[in-house]
Amino acid sequence: MVDAPILFFDSGIGGLTVLREARVLMPGRRFVYIADDAAFPYGAWEEQALAGHIVALFAPLLDEFRPEIAVISCNTASTIALAGLREAYPDTQFVGTVPAIKPAAERTRSGLVSVLGTPGTIARQYTRDLIASWATKCHVRLVGSDRLAALAEIYMRDGFVDEEAVRTEIAPCFLERDGARTDIVVLACTHYPFLVNRMRKMAPWPVDWIDTSEAIARRALSLLGPQDTAAFISDAEPDLARMTSGPPDIATRRLMHGFGLNME
């Protein structure tokens, strides 16, 4: 008997930030990583079109991989499609990734918090509802970036990042008001933790950057049943990555290998 895999899903490489945490917490599990790069960037899609696209994409994936759980390791996808996925596939457990507004509101001292995400995530009613539920006592600035997810893709494949572009994209997160300064920036896109060191370097003053990857991986772990240790020991099936655009280039292949994923 072989353990059912844990399926990770993102528009690109962002979900790898969650997968690397999951590996630490669940070393014996099998992972399948799906990057819908044919449709990247999700941040630029119209809401209903994106929701329909993602729900349709999952039918053959669930059929083929029969995952124990599916982790939507993408804020842009989760905030628009999680409800639709749960409704369409009630036999699958889905774990979503949504902006960490509650922990930010609990942690801020200055009361000034920024949420940095794709234009899609920032525009969502879902995000506004999180603020209304958990952060009414803070001033939350929503900052949508057109470029950061693509900059992270380039950085991870080619090892290059345009630091001035990072500076420009994060600049609106930094607010000074009545002698107080923004002290927390929520990374509301799974691509961004790959750039966090550059963000730290280019920030006008130090802040806490909230990254939810570990919390998402822990949530996934909490939903798993006991492991089939025989499958772990025999290491029967390798972890796998697939890009929806088809066979990947060398840089992507290397990157996925670096995360322990074989490409088809």
Phi, psi (degrees; rounded to nearest 5) at 249:
-75, 175
Angstrom distance (rounded) from CA 64 to CA 85 = 16
Per-residue string for binding with ligand DGL, 243-262, x by CB under 6 A? --------------------
* Active site annotation includes 173: no
Angstrom distance (rounded) from CA 89 to CA 87 = 6
21 binds ligand DGL (CB under 6 A): no
Measured from the CB of residue 102, what is the shortest distance to ligand DGL in angstroms?
A: 17
17 binds ligand DGL (CB under 6 A): no
Among 29, 76, 80, 138, the residue binding ligand DGL under the rule CB under 6 A is: 76
Conformational region of residue 177, where left means phi above 0, alpha means psi within -120 to 50, and beta covers everything else: beta
Instruction: Say how many residues make up the chain.
Output: 264
Please, which residues bridge with residue 176 across strands? Answer: 181
Contact 2, 228 (CB under 8 A): yes
124 binds ligand DGL (CB under 6 A): no
CA dihedral 161, 167, 169, 172 (to 10 degrees): 160
Between 135 and 149, name the residue whose CB sits nearer to ligand DGL: 149
The DSSP output letter for 183 is -
Between 75 and 110, name the residue whose CB sits nearer to ligand DGL: 75
Per-residue string for binding with ligand DGL, 170-189, x by CB under 6 A? -------------------x
Please, which residues bridge with residue 240 across strands? Answer: 32, 262
Residue with tokens 């509650």: 102
Closest CA to 99 of 75, 134, 128: 75
Among 34, 74, 115, 122, the residue binding ligand DGL under the rule CB under 6 A is: 74
Catalytic residue selected from 74, 85, 101, 104: 74
Among 6, 16, 33, 41, the residue binding ligand DGL under the rule CB under 6 A is: 41
Among 3, 10, 21, 169, the residue binding ligand DGL under the rule CB under 6 A is: 10
Measured from the CB of residue 173, what is the shortest distance to ligand DGL in angstroms?
A: 16
Which one of 18-26, 37-45, 85-93, 212-220 is the stretch in contact with ligand DGL (CB under 6 A)?
A: 37-45
Q: How far is CA 141 from CA 27, 49, 104, 115, 127, in A?
A: 38, 27, 12, 6, 12
* Active site annotation includes 74: yes
67 binds ligand DGL (CB under 6 A): no
Residues at the site binding ligand DGL, with contacts judged by CB under 6 A: 10-12, 14, 40-43, 74-76, 118, 121, 149, 189-191
Residues annotated as catalytic are 74, 189
